[in-house]
A and B are shown apart, each in its own frame.
Chain A
Amino acid sequence: MPEQRCVIIGNGPAANEAAITLRENAPDMRITIIGAERSGHYRAYLLPDFVCGKVAEESLYVHPPAFYRERNLHLRLGQSVVNIDFHACKITLDHKEVLTYDGLVLAVGSKPRIPEPLLIFEDLMLTLKTVRDAHIWRERLTEVDSALIIGGDLTSLSFANALLTMGKQVKFMLNEDSFWPVRCTEKILSEASEKLRAKGVDVILSNKIKGIAQEKDDRFHVETNARNFHIGLIGAFFGLRPNVKFLAKTGVLLEKGILVDKYLRTGFENVYAAGDCAQVYHPEFKDYWVSIGYRNARNLGRTAALNLLGGKFQADVAAKNIFEVDGIVVNTSWWTEF
């Protein structure tokens, strides 16, 4: 489909790698990238360092606007897709514009996951997934001297480090559900607690938040089944949830993310999914698996693009104990390197 139109929904590593791969292999193809955020493609794993001032904002961004112009990649930022008609090959944007496509790559990424029992406190907690989130943290951290981290995903530990370098007091609430995306064990819990405490982090072993009340702009009262305390800010770090709600009832198969086969096919012709919105069956895990991390996302984006162009490449699903964090490949004991 060299002279046809390919639309890529998403503007993260999988989406950008897919676009670059398509352009390299199909010089005449019309390629459109639709990103919901207004900012360009950035390295999300650097956000903790940006919050604490270790890196400048410019360093977050991967490509300047000229990069897209030179490659004739149409970049639409700040536009959300609200519906896709996979049978008619039509995409509806939130401002009612309808786009047609011949090929489609769904690389819509994910958003911070708040466990349902904690949704009642969602407005009282900050997350760290986007540049905008990072700016909010920077601003709010000027007003407080302490922060609570709940959860234990890939970002949480590097962010705890970032807070410590800023001289903030850090409390870390750990429990067996903390280490998304893997299940925590007693051994992991004890190792992680020890390392955190050695750095001066106040570890709270608790599996239930009974209440959070905001007493002032910079003061929250937190009640857990272990103990009660006051804190300046609260961050939720429970990992990510594929950003696929808008695809409900469209016919595409959804579990947590978009179910695809090993070639990243969705079941609709010329429609592929890549990055951390895609779920592939993982024979070793005996489960559907979302590959996370920057490098995995780029690999999947490239595979989806090549297959869209007629290739038959299998997704390189990460081994179950391999993740990537902070740009380096680590195994699931990443907390030991904290």
Chain B
Amino acid sequence: MSESTENASRDVVSKGRVEAGIVYSKDPADFYYMSVNVPCQNACPAWTNVPAYIRKVYEGKYAESYAINRMVNILPGILGRICSRPCEDKCRHGDSDLGHPVNICHIKRSAADLKREEPSVPRSRFAQNGKKVFIIGAGPAGLAAAHDLATVGFDVTIYESLDKPGGMLQWGIPEFRLPRNVIADETSAILDLGVTLKTGIKVGKDVSLKDLLSQYDAGLVATGCYVSRGLDAPGEDLEGVYPGLEFLMEVNAGRRLPIGKRVIVIGAGFTAFDCARTALRLGAENVSICIRGLEEELRVTADEIHEAKVEGVTIRPLLLSQIIVGQSKVEGVEFVRSRPGDLKPDGRHRSLAIPGSEFVMPADAVIVAVGQESEPLFVNDTDTKNIALNPDPVSNTTGAPRLYSAGDFTTGPSTVIASIASGRRAAERIAEDLLGWPVREWVVSIQETQVTDRQREWDYIPRVEMPKVEPPSERLDPPQREVETGFDEKLAEEESKRCYLCYLHYEIDIDRCIYCRYCIDVAPRHCIKLVEKVITNEDGAVTNLVETGNWRKVNAVVIDNDQCIRCGACLRICPMDCISVSKVQLLDRMIPSGEQNA
């Protein structure tokens, strides 16, 4: 935190607003503090307040936990099952000396599963403003944008080309990972805000974009990426070769495709894994996912890899597909073995073919899941000229006035949580452009608090893994049976105990410190430092601590909140009571009507 708000958190008001003893800061230094010191929230594209909702689960307040999630990520029950979990990669508990990351995603699901009452859904604090917005696509980005626009008084209509809302959630993710009643419940909660959904209408075919723009004040394109990329390899048109997304959409629509016993899946993302696990449920006995690179460079979660293997999928790394072999029907794939080359900018190795290593792997079906792209959408500018939209992922604008874009259509294939965040940003932009003032803001809230009841031994609790249907053979029939069965209250409490609650900020009042160093003696890691100098950036945020082992050069004893695991040992041992703890949270706030200029 900046020096000014550190003071504010104790007794005085500085740059922030004070409401009921809480400082709401918009100081860039405080945003910097949050980005470094609450790594889970910072890693979430939607900035979900992870420590807060985990704490609520620990307290058994599941509906409140759900509400904290829903405030920013809109679809907690869905995300608690299928989120890509960037938060867990950054969880401090996963540092090499601290064990394994907290099972954040599944704690989120437990809030959705275990809540006994329906959480309060944010209703509009705005009167209807008379502005009409259309959204093309009822996937995560479109639904998130619809939610946010409806809650600030817009009249929202969604045009969906398929017959149900949910987008990729509905059609691209298998039911054994995401039950359809969960999608129905959470999409209904959005539509219940007064959003109109028109299904079975394809914009550009059944209705023109130009006509929609003439009827509405603004529009949002959130059509996702539904066009499967191919391999550009001979044989892709053979019978028995399926594009990955089309394969999943067909199966999710209830069709049973003939795939035989031996299936090769080419691809390295979630779609490839979903295809492979779906193939097992269609009766395949020998399913291989063939990837160009190394297994540890896969873009899917470790859980997903493990579960696919447990169900019987084999991952075959370092293979480059050359030709899909067959006469009229697919018979196999010719691969060439590869070796890892130098590193690419994305941190993965280049794949280099090994000459002479060609071989054919036999197969009854081949599923090509090497990525998707968006279907181009044109706005008819004149009677003769179509203009491509050229979406801008930063501003969410397009080349056409009053037309915005969000989600995978804008960025290319991403994740559900990134699409939700994108949809929300687009909604904020539309609202501000149409109304002339902002309707939402992010603030850092700072309030004094007590040390929690967390106990040091909780840091040694092993990560609680999600219970699943066992043995794995039981998962395949019926094919839609949900594999992950969810935490019960006991497991949810146990796993939530593991969270360090990084939204707590520990700080030494240097004016009262007597440099006894007791706190350093009890510190579980190198988190309290004797420093010669504190380095700050131009906003006043602490960016570095210059430590010294020379006692005469020590100017302060400082808690490094980036290393701190919030155990509270320093606070309890301090003889001068000069260590304070505050709760620092990054919050999304609606700015009520009439307060925009306050």
A288 at the B interface (CB under 8 A): yes
Complex contact B471–A120 (CB within 8 A): yes
Instruction: Give the segment of A44-52, A249-257, A304-312 that binds chain B.
Output: A249-257
Complex contact B318–A255 (CB within 8 A): yes
Complex contact A281–B354 (CB within 8 A): yes
Q: Using Cβ atoms and an 8 Å threshold, which residues of chain B touch A119?
A: 310
Complex contact A286–B294 (CB within 8 A): no
* Number of A positions contacting B (CB below 8 A): 23
Given contacts A211-B471, A255-B318, A281-B339, A116 and B309 within 8 Å (CB-CB) = yes
Which residue of A82, A211, A286 is within 8 Å of B357 (Cβ)? A286
A170 at the B interface (CB under 8 A): no
Complex contact B473–A210 (CB within 8 A): yes
Which residue of A82, A96, A254, A287 is within 8 Å of B337 (Cβ)? A287
Complex contact A259–B340 (CB within 8 A): yes
A166 at the B interface (CB under 8 A): no
Query: In the complex, what's the smallest C-beta–C-beta distance from B299 to chain A, in angstroms?
Result: 15
Complex contact A117–B312 (CB within 8 A): yes
A283 at the B interface (CB under 8 A): yes
Complex contact B359–A83 (CB within 8 A): no
Given contacts A116-B309, A210-B473, A286-B359, A253 and B337 within 8 Å (CB-CB) = no
> Of all chain B residues, which has the CB nearest A247?
B296
Q: Using Cβ atoms and an 8 Å threshold, which residues of chain B touch A96?
A: 97
| A residues 254-282 touching B (CB-CB < 8 Å) | 254-255, 259, 281
B438 at the A interface (CB under 8 A): no
Complex contact A120–B296 (CB within 8 A): no
A248 at the B interface (CB under 8 A): yes
Complex contact B317–A255 (CB within 8 A): yes
Q: Using Cβ atoms and an 8 Å threshold, which residues of chain A touch B97?
A: 96
Complex contact A120–B472 (CB within 8 A): yes
Which residue of A116, A249, A254 is within 8 Å of B310 (Cβ)? A116
A208 at the B interface (CB under 8 A): yes
> Of all chain B residues, which has the CB nearest A83?
B96
Q: Using Cβ atoms and an 8 Å threshold, which residues of chain A touch B309?
A: 116-117
Q: Using Cβ atoms and an 8 Å threshold, which residues of chain A touch B311?
A: 117
Complex contact A283–B356 (CB within 8 A): yes
Q: Using Cβ atoms and an 8 Å threshold, which residues of chain B touch A248?
A: 296
B306 at the A interface (CB under 8 A): yes
Q: Using Cβ atoms and an 8 Å threshold, which residues of chain B touch A286?
A: 337, 356-359
Most A CB contacts (10 A, CB to CB) among B295, B317, B471 go to: B471
B457 at the A interface (CB under 8 A): no
| A residues 204-263 touching B (CB-CB < 8 Å) | 208-211, 248-249, 253-255, 259
**For the complex, what is the distance from the CA of A82 to the CA of B96, rounded to whole Å?**
9
Which residue of A116, A121, A209, A253 is within 8 Å of B340 (Cβ)? A253
Which residue of B295, B354, B471 is within 8 Å of A255 (Cβ)? B295
Q: Using Cβ atoms and an 8 Å threshold, which residues of chain A touch B96?
A: 82-83
B470 at the A interface (CB under 8 A): yes
Query: In the complex, what's the smallest C-beta–C-beta distance from A256 to chain B, in angstroms?
Result: 9
**For the complex, what is the distance from the CA of A315 to the CA of B470, rounded to whole Å?**
44
Q: Contact flags (1/0) for B463-499 with A, using CB distance below 8 Å?
A: 0000000111100000000000000000000000000
> Of all chain A residues, which has the CB nearest B305?
A116
| A residues 86-133 touching B (CB-CB < 8 Å) | 96, 116-117, 119-121
**For the complex, what is the distance from the CA of A99 to the CA of B97, rounded to whole Å?**
17
> Of all chain B residues, which has the CB nearest A287?
B337
Most B CB contacts (10 A, CB to CB) among A83, A116, A254, A286 go to: A116
Complex contact B340–A249 (CB within 8 A): no
**For the complex, what is the distance from the CA of A255 to the CA of B296, rounded to whole Å?**
8
| B residues 290-325 touching A (CB-CB < 8 Å) | 294-296, 306, 309-312, 317-318
**For the complex, what is the distance from the CA of A253 to the CA of B472, rounded to whole Å?**
31
> Of all chain B residues, which has the CB nearest A176?
B286
Complex contact A255–B310 (CB within 8 A): no
Query: In the complex, what's the smallest C-beta–C-beta distance from B68 to chain A, in angstroms?
Result: 32
Q: Using Cβ atoms and an 8 Å threshold, which residues of chain A touch B358?
A: 286
Query: In the complex, what's the smallest C-beta–C-beta distance from A80 to chain B, in angstroms?
Result: 14
Which residue of A117, A120, A253 is within 8 Å of B294 (Cβ)? A253
Q: Using Cβ atoms and an 8 Å threshold, which residues of chain A touch B349?
A: 253
**For the complex, what is the distance from the CA of A83 to the CA of B96, rounded to whole Å?**
9
Which residue of B340, B356, B472 is within 8 Å of A117 (Cβ)? B472
> Of all chain A residues, which has the CB nearest B313?
A116
**For the complex, what is the distance from the CA of A209 to the CA of B470, rounded to whole Å?**
12
> Of all chain B residues, which has the CB nearest A207?
B285
Query: In the complex, what's the smallest C-beta–C-beta distance from B291 to chain A, in angstroms?
Result: 11
Query: In the complex, what's the smallest C-beta–C-beta distance from B290 to chain A, in angstroms?
Result: 13
Q: Using Cβ atoms and an 8 Å threshold, which residues of chain B touch A210?
A: 471, 473
**For the complex, what is the distance from the CA of A117 to the CA of B339, rounded to whole Å?**
29
Most A CB contacts (10 A, CB to CB) among B349, B358, B473 go to: B473
Q: Using Cβ atoms and an 8 Å threshold, which residues of chain B touch A255?
A: 294-295, 317-318
**For the complex, what is the distance from the CA of A8 to the CA of B131, rounded to whole Å?**
72
Query: In the complex, what's the smallest C-beta–C-beta distance from A95 to chain B, in angstroms?
Result: 12
Which residue of B296, B354, B359, B473 is within 8 Å of A249 (Cβ)? B296
**For the complex, what is the distance from the CA of A116 to the CA of B312, rounded to whole Å?**
7
**For the complex, what is the distance from the CA of A248 to the CA of B470, rounded to whole Å?**
28
Query: In the complex, what's the smallest C-beta–C-beta distance from B11 to chain A, in angstroms?
Result: 41
Query: In the complex, what's the smallest C-beta–C-beta distance from A146 to chain B, in angstroms?
Result: 23
**For the complex, what is the distance from the CA of A96 to the CA of B356, rounded to whole Å?**
46
**For the complex, what is the distance from the CA of A211 to the CA of B318, rounded to whole Å?**
34
> Of all chain B residues, which has the CB nearest A286?
B357
Q: Contact flags (1/0) for B400-417 with A, using CB distance below 8 Å?
A: 000000000000000000
Most B CB contacts (10 A, CB to CB) among A96, A209, A259 go to: A259
Q: Contact flags (1/0) for B42-64 with A, using CB distance below 8 Å?
A: 00000000000000000000000
Q: Using Cβ atoms and an 8 Å threshold, which residues of chain A touch B318?
A: 255, 288
**For the complex, what is the distance from the CA of A211 to the CA of B349, rounded to whole Å?**
41
**For the complex, what is the distance from the CA of A254 to the CA of B337, rounded to whole Å?**
15
Query: In the complex, what's the smallest C-beta–C-beta distance from B283 to chain A, in angstroms?
Result: 14
Q: Using Cβ atoms and an 8 Å threshold, which residues of chain B touch A82?
A: 96
Task: Show 22 A/B contacts (Cβ-Cβ < 8 Å), sorted by A.
Answer: A82-B96, A83-B96, A96-B97, A116-B309, A117-B310, A117-B312, A119-B310, A121-B471, A208-B473, A210-B471, A211-B471, A248-B296, A249-B296, A253-B340, A254-B294, A255-B294, A255-B295, A255-B318, A281-B339, A283-B356, A286-B359, A288-B337
Q: Which 4 A-B pairs have the closest CB atoms?
A: A116-B309, A286-B357, A116-B310, A120-B470
User: Apart from A83-B96, A283-B357, what are 14 other A-B pairs with CB-CB below 8 Å?
Assistant: A82-B96, A116-B312, A117-B311, A117-B471, A117-B472, A117-B473, A120-B310, A120-B472, A209-B471, A211-B471, A255-B294, A259-B340, A281-B354, A286-B357
> Which residues of chain A have a CB within 8 Å of any CB of chain B?
82-83, 96, 116-117, 119-121, 208-211, 248-249, 253-255, 259, 281, 283, 286-288
